[in-house]
Amino acid sequence: MAATSQETQSAATDEETSVLKIWGRKPLSGCIPISGAKNSVLAILAGTLLCPKQCRISNVPSLADIGKMCQILRALGVKIERNGDALEIDASHVGSDRAPYELVSKLRASFFAVGPLLARLGSARMPLPGGCAIGARPVDLHVRGLQALGAEVRIEQGVVCADVKGRSGRLKGAKIYLDYPSVGATETLMMAATLAEGETTIYNAAREPEVVDLASFCGAMGAIIHGAGTNTITIVGVPELHTVDYPIVPDRIEAGTFLVAAAITHSELSIAPVVPDHLTPIIAKLREIGPQVVIDAPDTVRLIPSELRATDIETLPYPGFPTDMQAQFSALLTLAEGNSVITETVFENRLRHVAELSRMGADIRVKGQNAIVRGVHGLSGVPVMATDLRAAAALVIAGLAADGMTIVKGLHHLDRGYDNIEQKLRNVGAHLERVKVPTERVDNLADSAEALV
Ligand code: UD1
């Protein structure tokens, strides 16, 4: 079966641009289905390069980022077919060690393929990555870790060139200390170490659920990995991995986004399937803000609304509060009683949604990495521009609570990480619609918003 539409279509053509119209203040009710975790799929797709046989991953959402990752793997020689929510992947012949710049520059996670490529082929050529515009996002921790595993790494004209030294053609197990618990570096190095000679230990490893999902996937292929989910991961290298059929965990960030949508619209909403443990920091903050969050079943969480109170939030590596939920909570706190301080510590340029929320009537001031939010009584619908994936989600959430019609532009960001978000929200009572407008009119939608109704 062909790839699904969100994987292949962009949110825009040259002549036309899609925008999302949201008529706010509609109460929501019911249950929203949660898709598989985008960040798990991206890492696991890189991990399929380790498998010399066919494998299958299921519960794969239809997302632009996943479409891009598939394109990169195909450029390396991997065959991928979509079959419903599953991807059938045949990496038996990886014909190239060189990922194309035009694809890698659009997706930072594609860089994570450097580890498995190196482990499988003994060499990798990876252009320095792009991705969300949320900071510098270097790859020094990936590179230093690969060097510790015995790779020779140099950067030539913006391309990371990595080669395995020595006659065995295999990386060598090592003790690696990460200066920071980087998700991507932990994943790159864990994958590289699965086929290395001997034992590797990663200290100060990332503990995110997506790291654990990747470790489970590799384990199901025969890799020996202990400690994933703690800050010390040990990998005992094996000569070869085998085929696997693996379901992806539910997306905790998509789940959190819908819980915030429920809270801001004062709606009772359930979400399922989820792993409630993965939502611990999100649920804790929601409860501090006011709503009750109830775990109805091992895979179902329900939000019962209440008045909203201010709180402080600081983003941190897991199990701290996720940076990927910061923008959505910023939107929520604009309508909470009192003053909140939001501190972004993970990425240096991730408060760009603030300017757009202010245009909707929010009272937020940015000082360095802090946003000081003074709760207001209401937001107003205006045309707003999404600047990155989670900023897009924050604007949709704000639009659901705003008076009048919000028009969200920059939907290619939203489509990177949310599978069918309009339909999911419409099914629980939201009033929103994606429309195409002539590109030349997009910048002046404020003047012509009425014409779009
Ligand atoms: C992953 C997630 C992203 C999430 C982030 C933090 C994927 C595909 N993306 O991104 O959604 O927001 O984790 O939870 O899984 N850093 C360095 N050097 C490095 C690597 C990272 O300085 O070699 C810095 C980054 O610039 C950033 C911080 O470490 O400031 C965290 O980055 P990292 O955990 O690596 O995030 P990603 O893996 O890129």
What are the catalytic residues? 132
Nearest CA to ligand 1 atom 7: 39
Q: How many CA atoms lie within 13 A of 191 on its CB side?
A: 30
Of 183, 231, 413, the residue with max ligand 1 atoms within 8 A of its CB, to mutate for a pocket test, comes to 183
Nearest CA to ligand 1 atom 26: 137
* Residue 135, ligand 1, Cβ within 6 A: yes
| pLDDT tens per residue across span 63-122 | 999 999 999 999 999 999 999 999 999 999 999 899 888 888 888 888 999 999 999 999
d(CA 72, CA 84): 21
Q: How far is the CA of 50 from the centre of ligand 1 (A)?
A: 22
Ligand 1 atom closest to 136 (CA): 26
Lookup: tokens for 84: 């419903």
The tens-digit pLDDT sequence of the chain (453 residues) is 455 556 765 555 667 889 999 999 999 999 999 999 999 999 999 999 999 999 999 999 999 999 999 999 999 999 999 999 999 999 999 998 998 888 888 888 889 999 999 999 999 999 987 544 545 568 999 999 999 999 999 988 889 999 998 878 899 999 999 999 999 999 999 999 999 999 999 999 999 999 999 999 999 999 999 999 999 999 999 999 999 999 999 999 999 999 999 999 999 999 999 999 999 999 999 999 999 999 999 999 999 999 999 999 999 999 999 999 999 999 999 999 999 999 999 998 889 899 999 999 999 999 999 999 999 999 999 999 999 999 999 999 999 999 999 999 999 999 999 999 999 999 999 999 999 988 877 776 654 454 454
* Residue 182, ligand 1, Cβ within 6 A: yes
Q: What amino acid occupies position 150?
A: G
Measured in degrees and rounded to the nearest 5, phi and psi for residue 179 equal -60, -30
d(CA 417, CA 327): 14
Nearest CA to ligand 1 atom 37: 184
d(CA 213, CA 235): 15
Nearest CA to ligand 1 atom 24: 137
* Residue 190, ligand 1, Cβ within 6 A: no
